[in-house]
Amino acid sequence: MRTLPSRATFVDTHCHLDMSDFEDDLANILDRALVQGVESIITIGIDLASSHRAIELARQHSCIWAAIGVHPHDVHSATEATYATLEALVTANHNLIVGYGEIGLDYVKKRSEPELQRQHFRRQLEIAKKLRLPVIIHDRDAHTDTLNILKECGPLPQGGVMHCFSGDMAFAEKIIDLGFYISVPGIVTFKNAHTLHDVARMIPLTSLLIETDAPFLAPHPLRGKRNEPSFVVHTAACIARLRDIPLTDLAHATTANAASLFHFPPHETPHPTPRS
């Protein structure tokens, strides 16, 4: 993979480095990310156990930050005790946790009943408000309900991001009107992703984030491989081409947007070592 200019630095705003896919070569993965200018990586909790693992990774590596929450697939096993524990984790690890999520609705696989998903989505939005954390939203085939629940919940002071955006430009505009960012995954590099191409080209640069969702959804030309944070540069390069802007401009804007939403200071010399 070509090493990018030193001025081009990136944030992978969504991945799952706690998964077993990475347990044998995490150090190499982080090295490759840093070589490519990926200066900060947010690893995402999907349940209580993975939230604990995300925090531990953030504790061990200064380029990793954690988000915690319960994914819509897993809300069938979440209880008020689960949420109390998540709140306690934020209190104890506030310097490592930068977001609440991923939370939301998934009407594709429906591993949890849709009505139960909606109940827990509302509950977790309230928790995020209380904790003053930005929310990371998962939405698959649930655009209308996702938008309605976000509106019902009222303003989220810390804002949020629609992760792995899968809607059209009209939906993107409605989400942006709520003060949310749009996060574009590696799918944008696929030739047939015409709707996402339009979104990536047309949304305000001030509303754009980038992500890998690793180990899933590796971008072209690495489609089918295990995704990892260093691959976010392919997504960034594709979006820069779509927008006809220099890659360094795209990198600067998305990194600044990530810092504005998640409130972590950009690391001037990031390195995968434990925080003191």
CATH of the domain at 119: 3.20.20.140
Would you say residue 182 has pLDDT above 70?
yes
Instruction: Mention every residue, 6+ apart, whose C-beta is less than 8 A from residue 93.
Output: 55, 58, 59, 66
pTM for the complete prediction? 0.92
**Residue 228 in tokens:** 């990892």
Q: Which of 7-21, 167-181, 237-251 has the lowest mean pLDDT?
A: 7-21
Q: Residue 4 domain-assigned?
A: no
Q: Higher model confidence: residue 4 or residue 118? A: 118
Q: What is the per-residue pLDDT for 266?
A: 42
Distance in angstroms (rounded) separating the CA atoms of residues 26 and 210: 21
In terms of Cβ atoms closer than 10 Å to its own Cβ (0-12, 13-18, 19+), residue 67 is buried
Q: Higher model confidence: residue 4 or residue 22? A: 22
Q: Residue 168 domain-assigned?
A: yes
Residues of the chain above pLDDT 70, percent: 93
Residue 274 binned pLDDT confidence (cut-offs 50, 70, 90): very low
Q: Higher model confidence: residue 268 or residue 31? A: 31
Q: What is the per-residue pLDDT for 264?
A: 81
Would you say residue 189 has pLDDT above 70?
yes
φ, ψ of residue 218 to 5 degrees: the values are -60, 140
Residue 28 binned pLDDT confidence (cut-offs 50, 70, 90): very high
What is the rounded average pLDDT for all residues in the chain? 93
The answer to whether 178 and 137 are in contact (CB under 8 A) is no
Q: What is the per-residue pLDDT for 110?
A: 82
Instruction: Provide the number of structural domains found in the chain.
Output: 1
Q: What is the per-residue pLDDT for 7?
A: 63
Mean pLDDT within 120-124: 98
Q: Give the tens place of pLDDT for each residue, 220-255.
A: 999 999 999 999 999 999 999 999 999 999 999 999
Q: Name the amino acid, one letter, at 29.
A: I
Q: Give the tens place of pLDDT for each residue, 55-64.
A: 999 999 999 9
Would you say residue 97 has pLDDT above 60?
yes
Distance in angstroms (rounded) separating the CA atoms of residues 63 and 42: 9
Q: Residue 92 domain-assigned?
A: yes
Q: Residue 141 domain-assigned?
A: yes
Q: Residue 171 domain-assigned?
A: yes
**Residue 179 in tokens:** 């003060």
Distance in angstroms (rounded) separating the CA atoms of residues 76 and 39: 35
Q: Residue 2 domain-assigned?
A: no
Q: What is the per-residue pLDDT for 4?
A: 46
39 lies in which domain range?
10-262
Q: Residue 107 domain-assigned?
A: yes
Would you say residue 38 has pLDDT above 90?
yes
Distance in angstroms (rounded) separating the CA atoms of residues 235 and 225: 15
Q: What is the per-residue pLDDT for 269?
A: 38
Q: Residue 1 domain-assigned?
A: no
